[in-house]
Amino acid sequence: MKLKKLVGLSSALALSAMSLVAQEAKPVELKQQFEQLLLLQKQQAEQIESLKKQLEAIKGQPVTPGGKVTPPDVKIQDLERRVSELTNNWASKPWLVEQKWKPGDPIGLGRSGASYLNMSLIGLFTTGTSTANDIGALQPGGHDPNQRGFTVQNIETVFEGMVDPYFRGQANLIYGMDASGESLFELEEVYLETLSLPGNLQLKAGQFFTEFGRLNPSHPHSWSFVDQPLINNRMFGADGMRNPGARLSWLLPTPFYSEFFMTIQNSHGPNAYSFRGAGHAHGDEAEEGALVSTFRHPDNDRGVKTITDMLFTPRLVTSFELTDSQTVLMGVSAAFGPNNSGEENFASKTVTQIVGADFTWKWKPTNHTKGFPFVTWKTEAMLRKNQVGAFDWSSEEDEDDNGKFDAGVLVDTMNNGTKFAAVMAAETLTDYGAYTEFLYGFRPGWVAGIRYDWVGGKRGAYEKRGLLKADNETDNQSLTEEAGPDHSRGDRWRLSPNITWYPSEFSKIRLQYNYDDRKHIGHDHSIWLQFEFLLGSHGAHKF
Amino acid sequence: MKNLFSLLAALGLLTGVAHAKLNVVATLPDFASLAEDIGGDKVKVISLTKGTEDPHFVDAKPSFIRVLNQADVLLEGGAELELGWLPPLVQNARNPRILPNAPGHIVLAHGLKLLEIPTQLDRSQGDVHAAGNPHFNLGPANFKPMAEIIAATFARLDPANAAYYAANLKRFSERLTDKLIEWEKLAAPLRGVKVITYHKSFEYLAATYGFNIVGQIEPKPGIEPTATHINALIPNAKAAGVKLVMMEPNRARKTPQFVADSIGAKLVICPILVGGSPEAKNCCDLIDCNLRALVKALQN
């Protein structure tokens, strides 16, 4: 009974000490009271220990000579109850936890989701070599390795947090370095996202990656390969499709997950590559600007006159579990918008349409450790119909070394004076491609992967004119079989096995081999070693 | 027009019926088990994590967005346990009831005294969690405060059934008290026993029942074992007189088995979540089955 009193007294003391702390905050008193608390804690611990010792002493006795265990004594139970109550009491008094400043508040460097601003810095580098002499065209992605030796692929700073009760904000600012060593800055993504619109809607607005397929909206650091799939480069250019705009998404009231996204963005600028955006890119492949100009002058500056001058991207995605360990995600996307090939004085506006389908399957057993083992199979396919307008070279004032224009006739001085009709007819160009990749996480931290890339296109009438022949300095084989194919749209495939080691969630080392086969150019071997680190808060991974 | 109104009324009624039960989503089966104990037939409980999974590395499956969209209550452990997968799901769920700090979003760690709160954060020390060790679901002393938080939440969101939840909480607390006594007796032989664990999953169990964790198979939290570390661990453990090596069921057994054999200790597989083994059907069974396994290994 003495004990009971003691416990009661000590708790009362503790409580009164706490209320004192709350009232007065003089440092000396605080310190004294804290010491008192610690003392109390110590006393209580000693009490528990002594109680437990008593218990053990009692428990040591109960075996009777007959070998039978005596029924538990009421007294023992009482004692035990008090022991557990004491331990219980301790844990349920959160005020006993020291309230210290933690590096997590209010600017988060160590975690995410609970502070004003979470910050992180990601560094992504590669080193390696290739048999190709035109690495810029071989590795057309803006964050691909761009030369023999070392490449700074992507230095990404991320700022993320809750803006207010209505919005979440995020900014991904990218630093890079081109092959010549010149530093680059990219406003990759800066957007806000609503938190609780009614009707299961969500609005995103700002500058952001277009919701098309699986890879386009993701950042290079989350990719499973050193480089961007070829089809993404063909369709969306070196840096992916992203532009200022807004996206509304609706969580459909289906029993399984399905979501519909509608994105409206500006259709001009280098990041609307298939639309009004040709002319700029990191690699040679895109720099030729042949995609939409196709020997027509690009018309990037006509501005926005009607809503059809904007870029529209609808996407529907659905996901469900086949079993506890297998998840499937399927999506269809499309992008519609004007392109820059049709000159205003030449009839109607020309448009580009891209459609895509994607499929992801993941197996991860329910007894995984650290997320391993797993197998992921991901495939994306895309098709583009690209209208190019009619164009009359004889209307051009400009003359350069490549040819001169005479009353409806173009003379190619670089090519034995071959003559062509100066008017190029309107046509629709078709390009397509796909990639499929397998990833196998075979033991904690280790992932083996293989990706197959394939891109191609139907030859356009403009290619058959032979105009491209003179431009192809990179050719290393004869062009006798076909006149002047446009290499930026030519057939190509690539096989990329790789292996990645994640020493922790905050770093990775990846070795990748690429076998490239480009029609009319030849095949090449490349080997790249990628390394990455992450400082600061680690954002969660999406599926 | 009249028809439209009656249709709307019917719809309203339907949704009313649908909301009659509180939709509870728990990140771990342990929290789901407590929610079922308190909520009884007035709640519908779903756990996002399976008991056999590694709770740090759950996939953010899109289907979870659907589940969270319907939730009235989200029970999260907190202490960074679900950090790698939960935040984007909550943000995309379009459900103001469970947004961070909303009345329906409960972070259980906030009401508990966590162990191993680091005095400094340094990632060179491995996966150290700023708020402390997040495996508090293995601490029997935490069950009561967790149940209290859950009961208070249910009562606040569903005041009509407040008395029901209070009665369930009382019943649970009584059963728990009996269990605590039972475990205290059961675990008596474990007091002072030296053990090694794979990951820092068992600190709360050790703190409650007085066995001493003297080392880990992992060199640092979340870092895979290395030969150097194991070679140093074995003689130290031998010198300390380690009797048991505890590990989670989902990890590779080769290294811990080797360590156990080298020091003459027993390897004990201990589930760390409800559902981690067939016997661990709820929070109390989980403690039961772990203590029994440990005592059995010690006696053999």
B114 is a domain residue:
yes
Mean pLDDT confidence for B41-55: 95
Q: Tens digit of pLDDT for each residue in A99-116?
A: 455 555 556 655 544 567
Residues B127 and B90 in one domain: yes
Query: Which one is the CATH code of A109-390+425-536: 3.40.50.1370, 3.40.50.970, 2.40.10.120, 2.40.160.10?
Result: 2.40.160.10
Work out the minimum CA distance from B207 to partner chain A, whole angstroms. 10
Q: Which of B151, B180, B209 marks a domain boundary?
A: B180
Lowest mean pLDDT among A48-52, A192-196, A253-257, A374-378: A48-52
Which residue stretches of A462-523 are H helix? none
Work out the minimum CA distance from A128 to partner chain B, whole angstroms. 28
Radius of gyration, CA atoms only, chain A: 33
Higher local confidence (pLDDT), A78 or A522: A522
Q: How many cross-chain Cβ pairs, A to B, lie less than 8 Å apart? A: 172
A80 and B223: CB-CB below 8 Å? no
Cis peptide before A373 (omega within 30 of 0): yes
Chain B residues whose beta carbon lies within 8 Å of the beta carbon of residue A543: 59-62
Q: Sheet containing B43-47: give its strands across.
A: B43-47, B22-26, B73-76, B105-107
Assess contact for A118 and A159: CB atoms under 8 A. Answer: yes
Chain A residues whose beta carbon lies within 8 Å of the beta carbon of residue B80: 111
Give residue limits of the domains in chain A: 2-96, 109-390+425-536
Selected residues 106-165 of chain B with any CB under 8 Å from a CB in chain A: 110-114, 117, 121, 123, 126-127, 130-131, 139, 141-142, 144-145, 148
What is the domain extent for residue B197?
187-299
Q: Tens digit of pLDDT for each residue in B130-153?
A: 788 999 999 999 999 999 999 999
The closest alpha carbon to A233, from A300, A138, A151, A98, belongs to A138
Q: How far apart are CA B159 and CA B153, in angstroms?
A: 10
Consecutive H or E run containing A80? helix A74-91
Residues B207 and B249 in one domain: yes
Residue B102 near chain A (CB below 8 Å):
no
B208 and A87: CB-CB below 8 Å? yes
Unique residue bearing structure tokens 């811990």: B256
- Three-state DSSP state, B178: helix
Q: How far apart are CA B125 and CA B220, in angstroms?
A: 6
Residues B167 and B250 in one domain: no
Number of CB atoms found within 10 A of residue A306's CB: 8
Q: What is the DSSP string of A373-414?
A: SEEEEEEEEEEEEEEE--EEGGG----BTTBEEETTEEEETT
Radius of gyration, CA atoms only, chain B: 21
Q: Tens digit of pLDDT for each residue in A245-287?
A: 999 999 999 999 999 999 999 998 888 988 887 543 333 333 4
Best to test chain A binding among B224, B248, B274 (most A CBs inside 10 Å): B224
Instruction: Name A258's Cβ contacts closer than 8 Å, sequence gap at least 6.
Output: A251, A252, A316, A317, A318, A319
A97 and B113: CB-CB below 8 Å? yes
Lowest mean pLDDT among A58-67, A293-302, A462-471, A525-534: A58-67
Chain A residues whose beta carbon lies within 8 Å of the beta carbon of residue B85: 540-541
Read off the DSSP letter of residue B189. G
Q: What is the DSSP string of A216-229?
A: TTS-GGG-SSSS--
Backbone phi, then psi, for B79, in 5-degree steps?
A: 55, 35
Comparing alpha-carbon positions, the chain B residue that sits nearest to A202 is B94
How many domains are there within chain B? 2
The percent of residues in chain B predicted with pLDDT above 90, rounded, is 77
CATH of the domain at B258: 3.40.50.1980
Residues B53 and B158 in one domain: yes
The b-or-e profile of A288-303 (16+ CB within 10 A means b, else e) is bbbbbbbbbebbbeee
Residue B46 near chain A (CB below 8 Å):
no
Assess contact for A340 and A321: CB atoms under 8 A. Answer: no
Higher local confidence (pLDDT), A401 or B274: B274
What is the structure's pLDDT at B121?
73
B60 and A540: CB-CB below 8 Å? yes
Assess contact for A361 and A440: CB atoms under 8 A. Answer: no
Assess contact for A520 and A201: CB atoms under 8 A. Answer: no
Q: Which of B180, B211, B233 marks a domain boundary?
A: B180
Give A393's Cβ-side CA count (13 Å radius): 25
Q: Tens digit of pLDDT for each residue in B215-247?
A: 999 999 888 899 999 999 999 999 999 999 999
Residues B23 and B147 in one domain: yes
- Three-state DSSP state, A538: coil
What is the structure's pLDDT at A423?
75
Q: How far apart are CA B163 and CA B38, in angstroms?
A: 11
Selected residues 232-261 of chain B with any CB under 8 Å from a CB in chain A: 248-252
Mean pLDDT confidence for A226-250: 95
